[in-house]
Amino acid sequence: MNKFWNWVRNSDESRTLYLDGVIAEESWFDDDITPTAFKKELLSGEGDITVWINSPGGDCVAASQIYSMLMDYKGNVTVKIDGIAASAASVIAMAGTEVLMSPTSLLMIHNPLTVAVGDSAEMQKAIAMLDEVKESIINAYEIKTGLSRAKLSHFMDAETWMNAKKAIELGFADDLLFKSQEGTAAMEDSFTFSRRTVTNSLLAKLPKMQQTINKQPVEPLLKRLSLLHLSLIHI
C-alpha cells in the first residue's frame, strides 16, 4: 500500500491530516484495503481535524471516497491549501467545513481524464463514463460554491486556475491563511487562468497582427537597416 497521507496528533490532542503529492498513484478502483485503512485512521479519533493539501491531483475514485469520508465525519474539517489543490485534490478540498488558502497557493479544476483501449463502442463507453464522472465532480463544486452547473462545467472545460483571492471570490474557498490585520484586501488582485481562453485569444489576434505587419511601410525599415549597417562598420 502506497500511502499518500499522514496523520499527526498535536499536543492539544487535535489531529492534522497531511495530503501531499499524487492522490493514489495506484487507483482505489477494486481496492478494498487502502480505503479501509484511510477510514480506520480517520475514525480512530474524535474532534475537529485540520487537513493540509498540497497535491497536483490523482485518482478520482480515491478523491471521491476521501471527500465522502470527510463530509460524513462528525467533527469540523478545516482544509488548508498551502501549495496547490489541482484536479482530484480540489474535490477533496470541497469537503472542508472551512477552506483556507495560502496567499501564494493555487486551485485548479478541469475535466476528468482517462486512457481507453478498444473499438469505437469501447470509446463511446469511455466518453459516457467521463461525462458521468464530470457530473459527479460538479456535484461537489456546486455544494461548496453555489455556482450554476453550467458555469462550473465551463470552468472545467477551460481548465481553470485560480489564485487564493479568486477562489474565495467564486466560493471555492472561504478565507486566506496568514491574513494581515487589515483583513482581506479588495479582490482586484484576484485572477483566473483559462488555458482555452488564452489559446482562443491568441488565435483571434493572429490575423490582426499579420495585417499590421503587412501594412507597415517598408522605407522606415530599410532606413533603420542602413543606419545599423553604418554603425557596425564604424565599430
Give the dihedral sign, CA 224/229/234/235.
Answer: positive
Residue ranges making up the domain that contains 99: 5-190
Residue 200 located in a structural domain: no
d(CA 93, CA 66): 10
Residue type, 46: E
d(CA 74, CA 56): 27
Residue 95 located in a structural domain: yes
Digitized pLDDT (tens) for each residue of the chain, 235 residues in all: 678 999 999 988 899 999 999 999 877 877 878 999 999 999 999 999 999 999 999 999 999 999 999 999 999 999 999 999 999 999 999 999 999 999 999 999 999 988 888 999 999 999 999 999 999 999 999 999 999 999 999 999 999 999 999 999 999 999 999 877 555 444 455 556 566 655 565 556 556 555 555 565 656 666 665 665 555 444 4
Residue 94 located in a structural domain: yes
12 contacts: CB under 8 Å, gap ≥ 6: none
CATH number (domain holding residue 158): 3.90.226.10
Q: How many domains does the chain have?
A: 1
Q: Considering just the CA atoms, what is the radius of gyration of the chain in Å?
A: 24
For the chain, counts of helices (H) and of strands (E):
8, 9
| pTM across the whole model | 0.78
What is the DSSP pairing of strand 49-55 with strand 15-20? parallel
